[in-house]
Structure 1
Amino acid sequence: MAVGRLTSTLFLFTLLICLVIAEETVSSLVTEASAAIDARRFDTAETLYSRAIKLDEEHAGVLYCQRALTRRVQQNYEGALSDLDTCLADKGLSDRDYVYYQLKQHCEVLLATGNVDRALRELKSLKKFELSSAEQQRKTDLQSRIEAARKIKKRLPSADLAAVKELLTLTPYDLKLLNQLCAKAIEAKNTALLVEVSRKMIDSFPGDGQAMLYGAQGKMLLGDVQSAYKLARRAMDLDPDNSDYLKIFRPITQTKRKLDKIAKAMESGKYDLVVNESFEGPDIIKISVERSRCQAAVKSKHSGAVSICTAAHRLAERLRDTEAIIEILLERSTAYENADDLDSAIADVQTVLQHDQTHATARDRLSSLQTAKQLADRVDHYKVLGVSRGDDDKTIKRAYKKLAMKYHPDRAETDEQRTEFTVKFQEIGQAYEILSDPEKRAAYDRGDDLNQGGPGGFPGGFPGGFPGFPGGFQFFSSSGPQDAGSQGFRFQFR
């Protein structure tokens, strides 16, 4: 009984299919295909024409021509060429305008696919038509393009890049030519040629795995590892077991993993890990690793930061990579600053500004470094008095008195010591003059250039009193105040 029900179900299903097929005529399919073309759904139109061809293969010449149009729009030029070959072999085509249009389309497809000799022969068949002036002009233009492509193809592989670009424009769907040019570019390590041809190949054959791999190799030669990996990954997804694909995919994957590892370490602050990384490969990719090593060395204040950044700078100079040069010089300037070599730090920033006078970061950094240099070159008055920047006036005054007593020239026991004490005594006085005055001290802390007067640094001159003590110090020699400094100092409190 169950078998009977199953047989009945199969019968009804078969009958339904027969009814559907009976209702689906060539005419209805062509009507649907035309509507699909109007809606720019060319893949749907292609499918409908294919079904119509199966229903009436004996009179399918026109249908092949129509399907060729949909395939051409979808960049399936090989399929379009096959359909046009079949279409034009149909002796039943008689409409003059229709035949002329299909012959012209055939010539264009032959040219696009690189069949230039066939295209020229086909073009001659248009002579049997009485062409209007517009049709004759289109024929002449097409002939010029075919002959130009033919001329360049004869010059290969010695044609220059400009000629190759022109040829690729004329014959963008010549897969054999594209493969040959890519292989030649890789062999010659011609980055410009490989990038140009592989880009055109991917545009013309978006689903071709070999095109993707050539594109990936071109991206690698440009140092764009992430884009190279994406293209290679797509190729592998199309054919996972292809050993030739794997040979290209594996090194790209290894390089990507290394760069990802470095990027992750930088983000997480593991700078020592980055500094210890190395990379053996094309300089265009190596520069990315060396830039990261330089940055990591500076951030971690690695003892070898200057030498690491210098090596990276040499590589960037060799590649003429201005962006990398600027970044590395700014990093190295920080490394020099950390090593208290402000002159070298300033020189690196000035070199950056030679590359780009408007570089905002470099301009700000130069100003900051020049201020630091001025501060480093001047006397550290806090250090002279043995106090810190945050100490109050009372602490500064106490330190000043103590040092003034210790280094007063009258305490010197020898002429050599007198000279030493005199210099030291003047430094102490100059330091106190600035740090005891709130306005001068604030200006000094800002790094302002203070006009600090004569070498003594004392208001009124050296023998005229000693500021900071109640009543001051008076200095005398055995001959009286006028001769102070000529026969030895003595001092007393007032």
Structure 2
Amino acid sequence: MGVLRHLGPLLIISVLILFVIADETVSSLVLDAGKAIDRRNFDAAESLYSRAIKLDEDHTGLLYCQRALTRRVQQNYDGALSDLDTCLAKKDGLSDRDYVYYQLKQHCEVLLATGNVDRALRELKSLKKFDLSSAEQQRKTDLQGRIEAARKIKKRLPSADLTAVKELLTLTPYDLKLLNQLCAKAIEAKNTALLVEVSRKMIDSFPGDGQAMLYGAQGKMLMGDVQSAYKLARRAMDLDPDNSDYLKIFRPITQTKRKLDKIAKAMQSGKYDLVVGESFDGPDIIKISVEKSRCQAAVKSKHSSAVSICTGAHRLAERLGDTEAVVEILLERSTAYENADDLDSAIADVQTVLQHDQTHATARDRLSSLQTAKQLADRVDHYKVLGVSRGDDDKTIKRAYKKLAMKYHPDRAETDEQRADFTAKFQEIGQAYEILSDPEKRAAYDRGDDLKQGGPGGFPGGFPGGFPGGFQFFSSGPQGGGGPGGSQGGFRFQFR
């Protein structure tokens, strides 16, 4: 009994010491949390506040409010809202000014951000019993305006336009239920713009949410960005590998990526026939990538169906309104037309490109090249006329000319019809020899210069009184006369 009597005061002292130690520990934790906030290490600050709350659960009202601030900075709005609810309900350690501050600047803001607009309005109205400063009153008015704007737009959903939805997402960026509903609605309606906007906001607000990543992946797919879609879907699967709903979205994205990767690899390795034989049954926004590759491969391999394949790709690009793809495909098809010797169509395609972009350097260079090729194709091939090759020397060209001039001289014609043909042929031969026998003219012709053919007097080419190469023809009378044996038209040839 005496021992107990002595233990009594000691026990009381021990308990008091424990309280002091606990109080000092809470104080030190709060102090350390403040230092962590100064270093912008909010995760550490949240952890320190949590430890302080556990040490003194009966007097933690203000600690909950302080932890809520760190959670809000870390975008943990659900956690912040829970802490603020607890803090303001307890009112432990809160003065009226503290209460107004946390209610006005934190609680109602978080309620609005998470989409709890009706409750936010009620909490805001509860501040009527407090004497607010002019600054607080102005903040309350501004906040009330934003809350009511959000309520108005939410009532219009899902018929609200994209501009209104964007405004709502700005006001309530952490309303996960709303974000999920909007994404689902956008996918159902195939509304790419809405899905992209909402999923982007959802990922920003909930960076660790797998469903947000999958919505983002679907948005990227609708934009045709398969690589980004795959990265987002892969991140979602890493979070929850066994989620069957995730797999339903992940698998088709993966299959599409593999096909595009296969095509890209085949193009790089020059396996163009493999690419030409590919097909894709999916969204046009992704299919255009496949069709562009097929067009390019068909042109590079000079496939017989290159023009047809590129035309199909062009129609798809036009339907999508994808100007960049249209330009790319038209340039490819112009090459296909050129390979098929249809220079007029090739030029027309390049001119269409320049209608889209007059400064397109590649198109301008290509148009010049095609127009030169067209001029060369349209002009007489003097080498072909004389039956010689581009590399033949002057003697060979002269010999060929003389032979043909003798063969096709008009006076050797036996009928009027044949005379007309021989005359035309003879003129063509003379023109060819005039150009190819002159070194300067031949060089200019080989360069593709536009030479003015023909000269004054005599036959075209300007050689009156004879023909190039010292070849002269002397007629002894009209055709049909003759010497013995009925020879046609007295004539003889003389070479100088």
TM-score by length of 2: 0.90
Q: Tell me by how many angstroms 1:104 deviates.
A: 3.0
Greater mean alpha carbon deviation, residues 12-21 or residues 323-332:
12-21
Which residue of structure 1 lines up, in the alignment, with residue 90 of structure 2?
Answer: 90
> How far apart are 1:135 and its partner, in Å?
1.3
CA positional deviation for 1:33: 0.6
| CA-to-aligned-CA distance 1:384-411 (integer Å, 9 cap, x gap) | 1112222222222222222222222233
Pair 434,100 (structure 1): closer, same or farther in 2 beyond 3 Å: same
1:472 Cα deviation after fit: 2.3
**In the alignment, is the contact (CA less than 8 A) between 2:430 and 2:460 conserved in 1?**
no
The worse-fitting range, judged by mean Cα deviation, of 119-128 and 285-294 is 119-128
Change (3 A) 1:60 1:12: closer
Q: Hey, what's the Cα distance between the residues in 1 that align with 2:254 and 2:7?
A: 56
**Relative to structure 1, is the Cα distance of residues 457 and 99 closer, same or farther in structure 2, using a 3 angstrom cutoff?**
farther
**Alignment check: 8 A CA contact 1:65 1:102 kept:** no
- CA deviations on 1:122-152 (whole Å, 9 max, x unpaired) are 0012222211211111110000000000011
The change in CA–CA distance for 1:117 and 1:404 in structure 2 (over 3 A counts) is same
SS in 1 for 2:90: coil
Q: Give the distance between the partners of 2:384 and 2:249, measured in 1 at CA.
A: 64
Distance in 2 (CA, whole Å) between partners of 1:196 and 1:111 is 20
Per mean C-alpha deviation after superposition, the further-off stretch among 455-464 and 142-151 is 455-464
- Between 126-135 and 259-268, report the one with greater CA deviation: 126-135
Q: 2:10 & 2:266 partners in 1: Cα distance?
A: 65
Paired residue total: 489
User: Is the Cα contact below 8 Å between 2:413 and 2:419 reproduced in 1?
Assistant: yes
Distance 2:3 2:189 in 1: 71
Q: Larger deviation: 214-223 or 390-399?
A: 390-399
Per-residue deviation at 1:422? 1.7
Q: Counterpart in 2 of 1:166?
A: 167
What's the CA shift string for 1:267-317, capped at 9, x where partnerless? 000000000000000000000000000000000000000000000000001
**CA distance 1:239–1:9, shift in 2 (3 Å):** farther
2: CA distance between counterparts of 1:432 and 1:8?
Answer: 134
Percentage of matched positions with identical amino acids: 91
Distance 1:471 1:227, change over 3 A: closer
C-alpha change, 1:8 and 1:95, in structure 2 (3 Å) is closer
Moved more, 344-353 or 120-129: 120-129
Distance 1:461 1:181, change over 3 A: closer
Counterparts of 1:419 and 1:370 in 2: how far apart (Å)?
Answer: 33
Confirm or deny: 8 A CA contact 2:113 2:172 kept in the other structure. Answer: yes
Contact conserved, 2:433 with 2:468, CA < 8 A, in 1? no
CA deviations on 1:29-77 (whole Å, 9 max, x unpaired) are 1111100101111111111111111111111111110110001011110
Partner of 1:50: 50
Contact 1:429 1:456 in 2 (8 A): no
- Residues 397/164 of structure 1: CA separation in 2 closer, same or farther (3 Å cut): same
Task: Report the Cα offset of residue 101 of structure 1.
Answer: 3.4
Q: Distance in 2 between matches of 1:440 and 1:399?
A: 18
Measured in 2, the distance between the counterparts of 1:325 and 1:11 equals 88
Offset of residue 86 of structure 1: 0.6
User: What is the alpha-carbon distance in structure 2 between the residues aligned to residue 313 and residue 456 of structure 1?
Assistant: 54
Aligned in 2, Cα 1:333/1:11: closer, same or farther, shift over 3 Å?
Answer: farther
Partner of 1:9: 9
1:473 Cα deviation (Å)?
Answer: 3.0
Measure the CA separation in 1 of the matches of 2:274 and 2:5.
Answer: 73
Bigger mean CA offset, 449-458 vs 399-408 = 449-458
The C-alpha deviation readout for 1:409-447, integer Å capped at 9, x for no partner, is 233233322222221111111111111111111111111
Distance 2:71 2:128 in 1: 27
2:473 counterpart SS class: strand
> Does the C-alpha gap of structure 1 residues 104 and 352 become closer, same or farther in structure 2, counting only changes over 3 Å?
same
| Equivalent position of 1:431 in the other structure | 432
Distance 1:96 1:84, change over 3 A: same
Contact 1:88/1:103 (8 A) holds in 2: no
Cα RMSD after superposing both structures: 6.0
Q: Is the 8 A contact 1:430 1:457 kept in 2?
A: no
Shift of 1:376: 0.4
Q: 2:71 touches 2:77 (CA, 8 Å); kept in 1?
A: yes
> Cα offset for 1:28?
1.0
Question: Quick check: 45-54 or 398-407, which moved more?
Answer: 398-407
Consecutive unaligned residues in structure 1, runs of 5 or more? none
Contact kept, 8 Å, 2:402 with 2:471, in 1: the verdict is no
Q: Pick closer, same or farther for the CA change 1:130–1:273 going to 2, 3 Å.
A: same
Unaligned runs of 5+ in 2: 480-484
The answer to whether the 8 A contact 1:427-1:457 is kept is no
Contact residue 75 and residue 205 of structure 2 kept, 8 A: yes
Q: Does the Cα contact within 8 Å between 1:463 and 1:474 map onto a contact in 2?
A: no
